[in-house]
């Protein structure tokens, strides 16, 4: 499954590019529409675990941390990081496509532009 986020009408749309495009709309299957996106990943490796609606991702991370701690893997539990908000769609897609990219994105998080601001040249 090849997934890609696109920003449309102020919302993040997650499309499944492995499905055929609709003959009517020309778009691939819509898997998710959300106001903001959350990414859960491993701090050490940058491996992406989950992505999507922030409420679901934060819940997933809390459960995963609790289970890891109960199993005695405290370090692994502490390495689960969740980043959410209006992230640039290009950065989100790189996290989906490039193994370990989340760690690189996290190091630059404070300098990333607001994900929903459209530059003047992109608006037309």
Q: What is the pLDDT of residue 117?
A: 66
Per-residue b or e along 37-56, where b marks 16 or more CB atoms closer than 10 Å to that residue's CB: bbbbbbeeebebbbbbbbee
What is the average pLDDT score of the chain?
91
User: Does residue 55 surpass a pLDDT of 60?
Assistant: yes
Distances (CA, A) of 76 to 16, 45, 82: 30, 11, 14
pLDDT at 119 over 60: no
Residue 21 binned pLDDT confidence (cut-offs 50, 70, 90)? confident
Q: Residues 50-61: what's their mean pLDDT? A: 98
Environment class of 58 (CB within 10 Å of its CB; exposed 0-12, middle 13-18, buried 19+): middle
**Residues found in the chain:** 124
Q: What pTM did the predictor assign? A: 0.87
Residue 17: predicted pLDDT: 93
């Amino acid at each position: 499954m090849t997934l890609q986020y696109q920003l449309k009408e102020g919302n993040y749309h997650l499309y499944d590019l492995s499905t055929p495009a609709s003959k009517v709309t020309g778009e691939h299957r819509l898997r998710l529409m959300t106001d903001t996106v959350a990414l859960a990943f491993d701090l050490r490796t940058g491996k992406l675990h989950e992505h999507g609606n922030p409420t679901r991702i934060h819940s997933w991370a809390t459960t995963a941390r609790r289970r890891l701690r109960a199993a005695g893997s405290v370090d692994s539990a502490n390495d689960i990081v969740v980043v959410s908000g209006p992230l640039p769609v290009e950065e989100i897609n790189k996290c989906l496509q490039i193994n370990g990219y989340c760690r690189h994105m996290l190091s630059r998080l404070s300098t990333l532009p607001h994900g929903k601001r459209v530059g003047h040249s992109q608006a037309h």
